Amino acid sequence: MAGGATSVWATARLVAAKDLRVERRSRVVVNQVLPFAALVMVLFAFALDADAVLERTAPGLVWLGTIFSLLIVVQRSFAIETADGALDALRVAGVSPPGIFLGKSFALAVQLFVLEVLLVLLAIVLYESELDAAGAVLLVTTLVPATTGLAFVGTLYGGLAAGTRGRETLLPLLLFPVVAPVLIGATRATEAALGAGGAATDEGWPWVGMLVIFAALFGVGGTLAFGPLVEE
Binding interface with another protein (CB under 8 A): 1-6, 10-11, 14, 18, 21-22, 25-26, 80, 83-86, 88-95
DSSP assignment of 116-162 equals: HHHHHHHHHHHS-----HHHHHHHHHHHHHHHHHHHHHHHHHHHHHH
Nearer to another protein, 13 or 36 (CB): 13
Nearer to another protein, 64 or 225 (CB): 225
Nearer to another protein, 16 or 150 (CB): 16
Per-position b or e across 131-169, b if 16+ CB within 10 A of its CB: beeebeebbebbbebbbbbbbbbbbbbbbbbbeeeebee
Q: How far is the CB of 90 from another protein (least distance, A)?
A: 8
Nearer to another protein, 103 or 149 (CB): 103
CA-based nearest residue to 105, from 95, 113, 115, 94:
113
Nearer to another protein, 56 or 167 (CB): 167
Q: 231 with 91: CB under 8 angstroms?
A: yes
Nearer to another protein, 26 or 173 (CB): 26
Q: How far is the CB of 27 from another protein (least distance, A)?
A: 10
What is the DSSP secondary structure assignment for residue 201, as one 8-state letter? Answer: G
What is the DSSP secondary structure assignment for residue 203, as one 8-state letter? Answer: G
State the number of CA atoms in the 13 A half-sphere of 14 facing the CB: 14
Q: How far is the CB of 197 from another protein (least distance, A)?
A: 44
Q: How far is the CB of 13 from another protein (least distance, A)?
A: 9
Q: How far is the CB of 88 from another protein (least distance, A)?
A: 7
Q: How far is the CB of 28 from another protein (least distance, A)?
A: 9
Q: How far is the CB of 166 from another protein (least distance, A)?
A: 20
Question: CA angle, corner 177, sides to 173 and 182, nearest 5?
Answer: 135
Nearer to another protein, 14 or 213 (CB): 14
Q: What gap in Å lies between CA 30 and CA 164, rounded to an integer?
A: 27
